[in-house]
C-alpha cells in the first residue's frame, strides 16, 4: 500500500537516551526539594507514621542523626512540623519560646547552620480542638487567630527559622505576619505563603502524623473548595499584595492546573506541596508491587515542574536525592 508520508517525524527526537536527554524540557534537581519532618516531644522516639511508610515522628535527641542523612544527600531545606505533648484552646505550644519546633530549629541550626529551616506557621497541631486558629461561636475567629499566628512566626524566627510558611488560611495572614516580623526587626525573613490551600482529603495521613484532626467540624470555612480555580488567583493576589515572597499551591498532584495558573499570573517562586495522601497512595501501590515506585515518583514530581513549580515540598525528597545520585 502507498501511504502519504507528508507528516512530521516527531520520533526523530526520541531515538536514543542521549537524544531524549538533549531535548528534555524539565528537570528535577536536589535543590528543588524541601523535606518535611515531624518533631515530637519526649526522648528516644522514632515512630513510623502508620499511614506513611518511612516517615517518622522523631524526638529532639534523635533529630540530628536524621538531619545528618538529609544533609549528606544534599538536601538544603527542611520544613518542620511539631507534635507537642499537651495542647490547649489557644495553641500556646505554637508560640512558646521552648516549643517543640523552636527547640528543633535550635538543635538543627547548631549542627547544620547551612540548612534552611522553613517553619510551618499554624496552630492546628497545638490546639485541643485541632483547628488552625482560636474558636469563637463554633467557628475559627479570623482576626484573633492572626495575632497568635504573628506571635508564632516571631518566636520561630527568634529560634533560628529562615523562612516562615503560614498554612492557616486566615484572611490577612501575610500582612499581619509581615508586620509582626518587621516590628520584631526581622525584615530580612521571607514568607512562603500557603497562598492556595484546598480543603483536601489528601491531608488525611498528615493529620495522623501531626495529630491534628479537627475535633469538630472541618476546615471548609477557611481552606478552599476543590472545585474552584478563579478563587485561587484571588487568594494568590492578596498574598502577593500583602508581601508574600513565595507562593505555595497545595495539594499538588490533582491541582496542576492551578499551579500553571498561578505560574502564569505571578512572578514569585512557586512551590508545589506534594502532600501526605499523594505520598501514601504511591507507597501503598508500590508495596503491593502494582507500580514501579521510582519511575512513577520521578514522573509525577517532574510533572509538577512542567506545570510551573520552581520548588517541591515532598516526603519523597530523600528518595529523589538518592535516585539523582545513581
Ligand atoms: C497545617 C498543615 C496541614 C498540612 C500542612 N500544614 C494539614 C491541614 O491543613 O489539615 C498538610 C500536609 C500534608 O498533607 O502533607 N495546617
Give ipTM to 2 decimals.
Answer: 0.95
pLDDT tens-digit map of 90-140: 999 999 999 999 999 999 999 999 999 999 999 999 999 999 999 998 899
Task: Compute the distance from residue 81 Cα to the ligand 1 centre, in Å.
Answer: 9
Identify whether the C-beta of residue 226 lies closer than 8 Å to the C-beta of residue 202.
no
* Residue 103 assigned ligand-binding role: no
Ligand 1: nearest atom to the Cα of 313: 15
The pLDDT of residue 211 is above 90: no
What average pLDDT does the structure give for the chain? 97
How high is the pLDDT of residue 92? 96
How high is the pLDDT of residue 293? 98
Residues 319 and 321: their CA atoms lie apart, in Å, by: 5
pLDDT over 70, % of the chain? 100
pTM: 0.97
Identify whether the C-beta of residue 168 lies closer than 8 Å to the C-beta of residue 149.
yes
Strands (E), 11-64: 33-40, 46-49, 52-59
pLDDT tens-digit map of 153-188: 999 999 999 999 999 999 999 999 999 999 999 999
Residues 4 and 192: their CA atoms lie apart, in Å, by: 54
Q: Residue 307, Cβ neighbours under 10 Å: how many?
A: 22
How high is the pLDDT of residue 233? 98
- Was domain 28-325 assigned CATH 3.30.230.10? no
* Residue 12 assigned ligand-binding role: no
How high is the pLDDT of residue 205? 96
For range 74-102, the mean pLDDT: 96
The closest residue, in CA terms, to atom 6 on ligand 1 is 167
pLDDT tens-digit map of 284-310: 999 999 999 999 999 999 999 999 999
Ligand 1: nearest atom to the Cα of 202: 14
Place of cell 507562593: 247
Task: Compute the distance from residue 249 Cα to the ligand 1 centre, in Å.
Answer: 12
Strand 192-197 versus strand 246-250 pairing type: parallel
Helix (H) or strand (E) holding 145: helix 142-158
pLDDT tens-digit map of 233-248: 999 999 999 999 999 9
Three cell numbers, residue 175:
500582612
Q: Which residues line ligand 1 (CB under 6 A)?
A: 120, 122, 124, 132, 167, 203, 206-207, 275-276
Per-domain boundaries in the chain: 28-325
Amino acid at each position: 500500500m502507498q501511504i502519504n508520508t507528508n507528516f512530521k517525524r516527531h520520533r526523530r527526537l526520541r531515538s536514543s537516551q542521549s537524544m531524549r536527554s538533549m531535548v528534555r524540557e524539565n528537570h528535577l534537581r536536589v535543590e528543588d526539594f524541601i523535606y518535611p519532618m515531624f518533631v515530637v516531644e519526649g526522648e528516644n522516639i522514632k515512630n513510623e507514621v502508620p499511614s506513611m511508610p518511612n516517615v517518622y515522628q522523631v524526638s529532639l535527641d534523635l533529630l540530628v542523626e536524621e538531619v545528618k542523612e538529609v544533609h549528606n544527600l544534599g538536601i538544603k531545606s527542611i520544613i518542620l512540623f511539631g507534635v507537642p505533648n499537651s495542647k490547649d484552646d489557644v495553641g500556646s505550644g505554637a508560640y512558646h519560646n521552648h516549643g517543640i519546633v523552636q527547640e528543633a530549629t535550635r538543635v538543627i541550626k547548631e549542627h547544620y547552620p547551612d540548612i534552611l529551616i522553613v517553619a510551618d506557621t499554624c496552630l492546628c497541631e497545638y490546639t485541643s480542638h485541632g483547628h488552625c486558629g482560636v474558636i469563637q461561636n463554633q467557628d475559627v475567629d479570623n482576626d484573633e487567630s492572626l495575632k497568635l499566628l504573628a506571635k508564632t512566626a516571631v518566636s520561630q524566627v527568634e529560634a533560628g527559622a529562615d523562612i516562615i510558611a503560614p498554612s492557616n488560611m486566615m484572611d490577612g495572614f501575610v500582612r499581619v505576619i509581615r508586620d509582626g516580623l518587621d516590628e520584631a526587626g526581622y525584615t530580612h525573613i521571607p514568607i512562603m505563603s500557603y497562598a492556595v490551600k484546598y480543603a483536601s482529603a489528601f491531608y488525611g495521613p498528615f493529620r495522623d502524623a501531626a495529630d491534628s484532626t479537627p475535633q469538630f467540624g472541618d476546615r471548609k470555612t477557611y481552606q478552599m473548595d476543590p472545585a474552584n480555580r478563579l478563587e485561587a488567583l484571588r487568594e494568590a493576589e492578596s498574598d502577593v499584595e500583602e508581601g508574600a515572597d513565595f507562593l505555595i499551591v497545595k495539594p499538588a498532584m490533582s491541582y496542576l492546573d492551578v499551579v500553571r495558573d498561578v505560574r502564569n499570573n505571578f512572578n514569585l517562586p512557586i512551590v508545589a506541596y506534594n502532600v501526605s495522601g499523594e505520598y501514601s497512595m504511591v507507597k501503598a501501590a508500590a508495596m503491593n508491587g502494582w507500580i514501579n515506585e521510582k519511575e512513577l515518583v520521578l514522573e509525577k514530581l517532574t510533572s509538577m515542574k512542567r506545570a510551573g513549580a520552581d520548588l517541591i515540598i515532598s516526603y519523597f525528597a530523600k528518595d529523589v536525592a538518592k535516585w539523582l545520585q545513581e
